[in-house]
Every structure is written in structure tokens, then in C-alpha cells.
Amino acid sequence: MDYFAQQLINGLVLGSIYGLIAIGYTMVYGIVGMINFAHGDIFMIGGFIALITFLILVSIGLTAVPVILLLVLLVSMAITSLYGWTIERIAYRPLRHSFRLAPMLSAIGMSFVLTNFSQVAQGARVKPVPPIITGGYTLHEGADGFVVRLSNIQIIVVITTIVLLALFTWLVARTRLGRDMRACEQDQTMASLLGVDVDRTISMTFVIGAALAAVAGMMYLLYYGLVDFFMGFVAGIKAFTAAVLGGIGSLPGAMLGGLLIGLIETLWAAYFSTEYKDVAAFSILIVVLIFLPTGLLGRPEVEKV
Amino acid sequence: MAANASQAKTARGPDAAFILKKAVISALVALVLFSLMIGIRTEAGSDGQLTWWTRFGDLAAMVAVVFGGSIAMELLRRWWGPVDTVRVVPPSAQKVFSFAGRALVPALLIFTFLVPVIFYDERYILDLGILVLTYVMLGWGLNVVVGLAGLLDLGYVAFYAVGAYSYALLATNFGLSFWICLPLAGILAAFFGVLLGFPVLRLRGDYLAIVTLAFGEIIRLVIINWQTLTGGPNGISGIPRPTMFGIPLTPGDDGLATLLRIEFSPTHRIVFLFYLILALALLTNWVTIRLRRLPIGRAWEALREDEVACRALGINTTTTKLTAFATGAMFGGFAGAFFATRQGFISPESFTFHESALVLAIVVLGGMGSQLGVALAALAMIGGFELFRGLEQFRMLVFGGAMVLLMIWRPRGLIGHRAPTVFLERNTAISSDLVKEGHG
């Protein structure tokens, strides 16, 4: 039981990170109807920028951990958002009214560009950082000596995710931008006729998605203590799987899917085999889609003839 | 005259300011984007500690490149004019174009047949030719699924892998010859195609994309982890080379060279492999063209255009989709078996998502459904990729960038029109801009 509780905690933390990335996929899909294959690499870039900012801040003599974290978060979000904005501008906007596969291939190309760019710019080797946030709480000590621990970093990851999710839900539901986004999602032509700046709204969607991916990248860096140029691919695929599992286009679905994928992966690794944890996650995706072709919370697509 | 000149000048005045402003903004964006990623370099030292140093020279160079590039792009765009401009081609030139269009296929085919003769001594070109033909074959195979049936498949490499591993395992464990294994590899791959086809029957568009992607990853992960069967990450080595219908291409007494009483040369095998893959690719092409004339091929194309109408007309979408997956997978399996026998060594590294993306890019760039387009796209992509081999680490950067640019330049692919398979009286090609793509 203790072992299970510990795995549950680990799975939820991993799931939170996946969920943050998955939101970026789901938002972009909802509004422009394309798979942003480069999103996983945006997450990787976010991690790298967080790492570099952290190194600079430490070497100029800053020691207060909360200040460092806040600054790293802000810088990473700002620069990564600009990456999201630029990519949309260069690679997706010219193809917006093209046929379905064109923006997707452009996105795959962009993903190769970003992966290789950071490999060339920062080297191929894994970049480790010493643990920044240490300590934690012992929740329960079993009779057999097994300790269920909840570390501070895990608390921070989960709390950040919850806060961002709340903020984001509020943004979509209550603000002008959110209303514009929902309008563009339903009908871009009609929205533009009613005075919604469609281009700007789509750009903002990419910016917000990239900012959330940057947070996820920073959390990944803090939690696992390393980044490398290839981490965007696997994380991106998992997050995309999460978004589809939850029903692509649905925000709560993305979070739910993220948590599920995180849990499946962690529990499978804990009870069965680490080698096949990804196979398990993908297989469950396929099984779910057989019975629910539009994911767990996705709205069924009604096709008019 | 003077008034005209001054008018032109005033028109150019704000223009130059606009171009400059755009370039400055691009440069500023580039400065922020690259400030940390290029301006700072991090590296893990020998003691595991991260160190960093600045590279402001590189950063300045990159920003300058972006600034200059932005100006050049904008000027190029002005010079080229609006994208929608209709360019009138004079009738005489049209005639030349249409003749060139008709002569292109036979010319290309004859040239391909003659490649081993012309470049007999250039091993590099022969190897490159084999590589290009392998991708032509893969492209034609995937074209059945994506181009004809309109089913988006992001995991095509799985069938390539199944074919390669089928041949490698059958040949190394049971000593079966290439010619027995080739159909077996195709059948096994087709079986996997059906296996993938079943769960995705009800899925559409991007759900289909992610499931095929997941399928490709599952196959790769299983190959990596099932070490007792597949050798895991180490792969399988010592895969037997193909024989010319039982006659080995070796210097030994029973070899082809001895039988023909000519001097043995390792090039014989390369030439044989070249014609082998050419035959396989042409087989794929021939079968596809024939299938398009059969009810099943018509059903595929109907499925691509509109699935609902398809069902209303009484086409069984289940069998249509499954046969498309199985046929495409079978050709992938053939190509995989060829790959295994050519390399003599296979490992999971050859079957990553990158390969799937490459083949899909070939199909889309070729114009989705055009056989000639796919062949030309494969030549352009693989040949272009080879040209940049000298750039080593920048190769993928160039490749990805080229993919983005090509998509923006020609989103409909190189040959962007559809030749209808059924027509009334006159056969006219339809510009693919007019064709609505289904959601399958």
C-alpha cells in the first residue's frame, strides 16, 4: 500500500508536467485544427532557457532560491513564448488556408529544426544541474521500513500546475482574449466579421501554449535535474497522446489525459517492467480510442454532408 | 517625366522604410530568440559541474544574417510579385512543356535503367541510386495509404521494420533464401497492416495520425526490448546477401562470375541490388496503377474524397481501409526485406519516427497520389540530403528548414494536380486546389 501511494505521488507529478504540455497541443488543435509537432521541442527549448538563466543568475551571486526561481520562470516563459510566436509566424501562418497535411509537415520540419538547432547551439551532451530545491516531508513510515515521501519539488510542481490551470481556465472563460479564442475555434470567418482579430488571437494561442510548455520545461529541469536536446520528442509524443486520450480540443481533457498517462507510465514501471512503460501508455491510448473514438472528454465530431 | 520620376521616388521612399522596419523587427526578435541559446554556451565539465561562456560574436553574426535575410526576402517577394498572379505561358512554350511532360517518364525510366551502365565505376553513385530507389518504393507504398485512400499514416516505418526483421530472422535462424523470405516478409507486414487497421477503423484525421504514430513507436520499442528475439539495440548482423535466384554473387567456384567466366568484381552485387530494387519499385508502381483501375482502387479514391458519400453509395469502408493498409504495408515489408539484405545488418536505429516523417514528406511533396511526383520528390529529398552530407551536424537543420520552405512554396506538392481515373469524354487534369480532402 505504501509503495502504491508513493508511485501514485510520482505518477501525479509526472502527469502534471505532461498535462501542461498537452494543453498547448489541445489549444492549438482547437483553434487552428493542426497538430503542432514542434510543441514538444518548444518544451525542450523552455528547459534549456531555464537552465541557462539559472546558471547566469547563480554565477552573478544570487542566492535567494525563491527569487532565482521566479526570475528563471519569467525569463523562460518570455523567451519561449517568443519562440512559439515566431514559429507560428514563419511556418504555420502562410499555410493556414492550405490543405490539412501541409501545416502538419511544416510542423514536423520545424521540430527537426528546433531539435537540431539546440544540438548545434548547446552540444549533444546531457546537461545536469545540481538539485535546487531539496527537502520534503515524510508522510508515512511503514512497518517494513518503507517511507512514503513527498518532496518539496513535487509539491511545487503540483501547485504550479494547479495555479496555472486555474489561471488558464479563468482566461479562457472570462477574458476578452478567451472569448475571442472560443469564437475563432467555432468559426474563424464569422469571428473576423464580428471584429475579432483572428491573426492576433491565433498568435496569442501559440504564445500561451509556448509559455505553458516553458513552465513544463522548467519543472522538468527542477524535477529530473537534467535537460538534453532530444527530450522534446518523447515528451512531445507523450503529451500529444495525453491530449488525444483526453479528447483533443478539450482543456480539462488534456489535463486528465496527462495525469492518466503519467500514472499509467509510473505504475507500469513500478509493478511490471520499466522497458515496456511507453508501450503500455501507447497501447492504452489505442484501446481507449477503439471504444471512445474521440477520447475521454472530446465532443463527437458531427459531419454534415 | 520628372513628375513620374518623383512619383516613383515617393513610392519607393516609404517602401524602403517599410522594408527596413521589418528587417529591424526581425533582427530584434532574432536577438531575443538567440540571446541565450546562441549567446551563451553551456557544457558539463569533467567533474559533472556545468560551466558556461559567452559567444557574443556568433550571436551578432546570426542577428546580422537575419537582418540581411529579411531584407533579401522582402526584395525577392517584391520582385516576384503577388503569389496569386496568373502567369500566362505562351502557346509555343506550352507545347514544349506538354511534350516535355510526356517525354519525362520514359526518359527518366531509360536513364534509371542505364545508371549502372553509365556509372559502373562510381560506387558512390550506385549506392546513392539504390538508396533513392528504396525511398521511391517506400513513397509509392505509402502513397497507397495516404495518397489514394487518404488515411494519414505516421507510423509507416513500422512495416518497413517488420519486413526487415522478418527477413533477417527467417534468414539467420532457418537459413531460408531471400526469394522465399521476400513474399513472407510482405505477407507478415501486410498482416501487421491489418492489425493496425482494425483499431483505427472508426478513427478520423488526427486521431488516426496519433494512433499510427503510437503503433510505429510500439513496434520500435518492442524490437529494442525483446532482446532474446531481435538482439535489442545491438540489432542483427550477418544477414545473408541475396543470391541471383540461387546463384551467389561471390568469388567462389559456384559464383556468378565463375559461371559466366568473367572476372569477379564486388560491383556485380551492387548492380544486382540496383536492378533488384528497381524491379521491386516498378512492381509497386505497376500494381498501384492496376489497382487504381479496379473497383478497390476506385473505392480508395472515393474514400479519400468523401467517406460519408462512400458509405451512402454502399462501399464497404471497413474492407476498403483494411486493404489500403495491408497493400501499403506489404510494399513497406518488401522494401524492408530489401533493406535488410542490402545492409547485412539492421538495428532499431534505422526505424525511427524520422524515417516515417521522411517518407510522408516525400509523398506529400510529390503531390499526394501522383506516382511521378513521388519519384521526383524522393530524388529531390534523398539527393538533396546527400548533398549536405558534408555539413554533418547542420544536416538535419537544413533538412527541416527545407521541409518548411517547400511546404510554404508548394503546399500541394511538386505535381499538384489530380488525373481523374473516371471521366466523361475528355480527360483533363484537375488542379488539386479544387479538390476537397476528406477527413479520413
How high is the ipTM of this complex? 0.85
Nearest CB partner across the interface for B214, out of A52, A126, A285: A285
Please indicate, yes or no, whether residues B128 and B64 belong to a single structural domain of this protein.
no
Size of interface A-B (CB pairs under 8 A): 195
Residues of chain A contacting B213 with CB distance shorter than 8 Å = 237
Across the interface, do A112 and B396 touch by the CB < 8 Å criterion? yes
Across the interface, do A45 and B37 touch by the CB < 8 Å criterion? yes
The per-residue pLDDT for A4 is 87
What single letter denotes the amino acid at residue B331? F
Chain A residue nearest residue B146, CA to CA: A101
Structure confidence by residue, pLDDT tens digits, B349-383: 889 888 898 899 898 888 877 888 899 889 988 88
Say if residue B390 is exposed, middle or buried (CB neighbours under 10 Å; 0-12, 13-18, 19+): exposed
Across the interface, do B41 and A121 touch by the CB < 8 Å criterion? yes
Q: Is residue A218 over pLDDT 60?
A: yes
The stretch B74-86 carries a mean pLDDT of 70
Q: Is residue A151 over pLDDT 80?
A: yes
The mean predicted confidence, pLDDT, of chain A is: 88
Domain count, chain A: 1
CA gap A24, A230 in Å, rounded: 19
Grid cell in block for residue B332: 513497406
Domain extent at residue A193: 2-231
Across the interface, do B40 and A56 touch by the CB < 8 Å criterion? yes
Please indicate, yes or no, whether residues B68 and B118 belong to a single structural domain of this protein.
no
Grid cell in block for residue B272: 544486382
Grid cell in block for residue B312: 451512402
Confidence label for B425 from pLDDT (cuts 50, 70 and 90): low
In a domain, B202, yes or no: yes
In a domain, B88, yes or no: no
In total, chain A counts a number of residues equal to: 305
The stretch B97-115 carries a mean pLDDT of 81
Across the interface, do A282 and B397 touch by the CB < 8 Å criterion? no
Across the interface, do A286 and B199 touch by the CB < 8 Å criterion? yes
Chain B residue nearest residue A281, CA to CA: B214
Q: How many CA atoms lie within 13 A of B68 on its CB side?
A: 6
Note whether A97 contacts B: Cβ–Cβ < 8 A.
no
Confidence label for B5 from pLDDT (cuts 50, 70 and 90): very low
In a domain, A55, yes or no: yes
In a domain, B210, yes or no: yes
Residues of chain B contacting A287 with CB distance shorter than 8 Å = 199
In a domain, B6, yes or no: no
Across the interface, do B394 and A116 touch by the CB < 8 Å criterion? yes
Please indicate, yes or no, whether residues B70 and B117 belong to a single structural domain of this protein.
no
In a domain, A156, yes or no: yes
In a domain, A269, yes or no: no
In a domain, B110, yes or no: yes
Q: Is residue A19 over pLDDT 90?
A: yes
* CATH code of residue B424: 1.10.3470
Q: How many angstroms separate the CA of residue B133 from the nearest CA in chain A?
A: 22
Q: Return the higher-pLDDT residue of B180 and B432.
A: B180
The per-residue pLDDT for B409 is 81
Domain count, chain B: 2
Domain extent at residue B27: 16-80
Please indicate, yes or no, whether residues B425 and B342 belong to a single structural domain of this protein.
yes
Note whether A282 contacts B: Cβ–Cβ < 8 A.
yes
Grid cell in block for residue B361: 514528406
The mean predicted confidence, pLDDT, of chain B is: 83
In a domain, B98, yes or no: no
The stretch B231-245 carries a mean pLDDT of 83
Grid cell in block for residue B398: 537544413
In a domain, A246, yes or no: no
Chain B residue nearest residue A233, CA to CA: B353
The stretch B239-252 carries a mean pLDDT of 76
Nearest CB partner across the interface for A244, out of B33, B40, B207: B207
Please indicate, yes or no, whether residues B20 and B166 belong to a single structural domain of this protein.
no
Q: Is residue B9 over pLDDT 50?
A: no
In a domain, B439, yes or no: no
Distance of CA A298 to the CA centre of its chain: 19
Please indicate, yes or no, whether residues B75 and B110 belong to a single structural domain of this protein.
no
In a domain, A278, yes or no: no
Q: Is residue B87 over pLDDT 70?
A: no
Across the interface, do B206 and A29 touch by the CB < 8 Å criterion? yes
Please indicate, yes or no, whether residues B28 and B124 belong to a single structural domain of this protein.
no
Helix (H) or strand (E) segment spanning residue A260: helix A251-271
Grid cell in block for residue B281: 519499385
Dihedral of the CA atoms A289, A269, A13, A137 (nearest 10)? 150
